[in-house]
Amino acid sequence: MSELTHLTLAQARDALRSKKISATELTKAHLNAMEKARVLNCYITETPELALDQARQSDARLTEGNAGPLEGLPIGVKDLYCTKGVRTTAASRILGDFTPTYESTVSSNLRQDGAISLGKLNLDEFAMGSSNETSAFGPVISPWRRHADPEAKIVPGGSSGGSSAAVAAHLCLAATATDTGGSIRQPAAFTGTVGIKPTYGRCSRWGIVAFASSLDQAGPITRTVRDAAIMLRSMAGHDAKDTTSVDAPVSDYEKAVGLSVKGRRIGVPKEYRIDGMSLEIQQFWDQGVAWLKDAGAEIVEISLPHTQYALPTYYIIAPAEASSNLARYDGVRYGLREAGRDIADMYEKTRAKGFGSEVRRRIMIGTYVLSAGYYDAYYIRAQKVRSLIKQDFDSVFAAGVDAVLTPATPSTAFAQGEQGSSDPVEMYLNDVFTVTVNMAGLPGIAVPGGCAANGLPLGLQLIGRPFDEETLFSLASAIEQAAPKIEYPRPWWA
């Protein structure tokens, strides 16, 4: 059965269409792999009956010859997407047994195209974290291990840690994810997978539990660049229910995979050579530059002068928006309720018990920076600096640069408990290379480029012009071709 789970999404699609395999056997192979991998804690909720039912419907459509673009392909869904009739937790206790009576637009688009959902994937609580250690359902363990201490439990990154680990461990062909400051690209880089955050507005946010609405975007995590292109085409599109979703046609991104990148201008930002960057990461980045140069791209040094302010700006804007979005969890309409002596006491006790410590901290920071007397000094100033960060990118693209190449993360994955326990800021630094992209609303893709000396994967990031995801797919596939092939870990957990 295991060879079925080792197909890429594209290979499985072609095998289904040529009737070499059935959706039912493909789904069963994945359900079997999931059952053996529960120690990794990738799924919060498995939905085997639903998946097999959907597989039977797919097999019927494949036989009838009216299959959708993703017909019969089993995927995992980050448990931040509301799914009709299936419990949705956001990895928080505060949602209790919340079972949506509606389906998010993106997961509905995937279903419409024939994809099969295997279950709901673990994440950091409300997508707030970079290691999947803040989940109320326990941390996810990466399938990857360090050479030096193979018993150490490596984190899969976050917040989409269930998505990245499940894809790397072959527990689904692809997964949905979301990215507010790096939550698709950082976990992809940590697990040797591909993750794209499209341009803000490319995917509908409707039905996805909101964290920071001006930054949140949906996107896929997959094992190949082609698979990411296939997934994004089905996920993207205009939705009248999200006023920030953009009414522009969705390209057939798969056609961009493998296109020549000859003559493309790639910017290498000097400000990303941050203090304390390890020699290994610097050399890895240089290697990425060399791969694109060999593929015919032109390399130019660029300057993004406000880079150093992106992370501090993020840690004002994202908590501010989160404090507003998470005000809805009041113990009245859904989720957990703790009894109190009056309604205010009920709110306070419910929210104290329901939210984990990282979420409570961010709500409080957000409340503070929006409160009377501090609003201008913190929030408005941060929104101004955000304008400057965006203008940095605008000038670079106006000068003819097609895409920007950076490392995806400042290090490889670490082990559980190694970061952020004494100082929350240490964990925040994981997003130093990814957060600028959300600030400016741009598309960004993380693509694996090989492994570090410790045995863990490293990822490169490409940042593109608004709505030019196609160029990112072409460039990422050029890196994929040139880089050493990722050998995913053998299933030590099974």
Contact yes or no for 171/122 (Cβ under 8 A): no
Q: Select 309 or 488, whichever has its Cβ closest to another protein.
A: 309
CB of 437 to another protein, least distance (A): 10
Q: Are strands 74-78 and 194-197 parallel, antiparallel or unpaired?
A: unpaired
Q: How far is the CB of 108 from another protein (least distance, A)?
A: 16
Please, which residue, 143 or 466, has the CB nearer to another protein? 466
Least Cα distance to 219 among 241, 234, 238, 206 occurs for: 234
Q: How far apart, in whole angstroms, are the C-alpha atoms of residue 125 and residue 94?
A: 10
Backbone angles phi, psi at 178, to 5 degrees: -140, 160
Binding to another protein by CB under 8 A, coded x per residue (else -) over 221-260, reads -------------------x--xx-x--------------
Q: How far is the CB of 274 from another protein (least distance, A)?
A: 14
Those residues whose C-beta lies under 8 Å from the C-beta of residue 232, and which sit 6 or more positions away, are 196, 198, 202, 219, 220, 253, 469
Round to whole Å and give the CA distance between 320 and 304.
25
Site stretch for another protein (CB under 8 A), options 69-77, 112-120, 338-346, 455-463: 338-346
183 is catalytic: yes
- Interface region with another protein, contact rule CB under 8 A, candidates 42-50, 108-116, 252-260, 344-352: 344-352
Type of residue numbered 134: T
- Contact residue for another protein among 347, 397, 414, 433 (CB under 8 A): 347
> Minimum distance between the CB of residue 368 and another protein, rounded to whole angstroms?
5
- Nearest distance in Å: CB 439, another protein: 8
Q: CA 38, CA 140: separation in Å to the nearest integer?
A: 10
CA neighbor of 487 nearest in space, from 145, 156, 107, 192: 192
Question: Least distance to another protein from the beta carbon of 54, Å?
Answer: 23
Of the pair 129, 441, the CB lying nearest another protein is at 441
Q: How far is CA 172 from CA 7, 153, 197, 339, in A?
A: 10, 21, 19, 41
Collapsed DSSP state (helix, strand, coil) of residue 444:
strand
List 92, 159, 163, 234, catalytic entry: 159
Query: How many CB atoms sit inside 10 A of residue 7's CB?
Result: 20
Least distance to another protein from the beta carbon of 334, Å?
4
Q: Per CB under 8 A, does 494 bind another protein?
A: no
Is the CB of 11 or the CB of 367 nearer to another protein?
Answer: 367
Catalytic residue among 28, 78, 120, 197: 78
At 192, give phi and psi (nearest 5°): 70, 30
β-pair type (403-407, 265-269): parallel
Tell me the three state secondary structure of residue 168: helix
**Cβ nearer to another protein, comparing 97 with 149:** 97
Q: State yes or no: residue 146 binds another protein (CB under 8 A).
A: no
Judged by CB under 8 A, the residue of 423, 481, 493, 494 near another protein is: 423
Kindly tell me which residue out of 440, 446, 458, 476 binds another protein, with binding defined by CB under 8 A: 440
Binding another protein by CB under 8 A: which of 49, 65, 148, 333?
333
What x-and-dash track marks residues 147-176 binding another protein by CB under 8 A? ------------------------------
Residues 296-325 that bind another protein (CB under 8 A): 306, 308-309, 311-313, 315-316, 323
Q: Which of residues 60-99 bind another protein (CB under 8 A)?
A: 96-99
Binding flag, residue 398, another protein (CB under 8 A): no
Question: Could you tell me which of 109, 459, 105, 38 has the C-alpha nearest to residue 287?
Answer: 459
As measured in angstroms, the least distance from the Cβ of 486 to another protein is 32
From candidates 340, 410, 450, 491, binder to another protein by CB under 8 A: 340
Give the per-residue contact string, 20-49, with another protein (x = CB under 8 A; - = no).
------------------------------
Instruction: Give the separation between CA 494 and CA 480, rounded to whole angstroms.
Output: 29
- Catalytic: 159? yes
DSSP per residue over 16-36, as a string? HHTTSS-HHHHHHHHHHHHHH
C-alpha neighbours within 13 Å on the C-beta side of residue 369:
25
Quick note: the x/- pattern for another protein over 351-390, rule CB under 8 A, is xx--x----xx-xxx-xx--x-----xx-xxxxxxxxx-x
Taking the complex as a whole, the smallest distance from the CB of residue 400 to another protein amounts, in Å, to: 20
22/438 with CB nearer another protein: 438
* Tokens describing residue 400: 């003819």
Per-residue b/e over 224-243, b at no fewer than 16 CB within 10 Å? bbbbbbbbbbbbbbbbeebe
Q: Which one, of 228, 198, 190, lies nearest residue 459 by Cα?
A: 190
Closest CA to 50 of 99, 3, 106, 93: 99
Q: How many residues of this chain bind another protein (CB under 8 A)?
A: 72
Nearer to another protein, 425 or 494 (CB): 425
Residue placing its CB nearer to another protein in the complex, 284 or 433:
433
What is the C-alpha to C-alpha distance for residues 60 and 396, in angstroms, rounded to an integer?
51
Which C-beta is closer to another protein: that of 246 or that of 463?
246
Catalytically annotated residues: 78, 159, 183
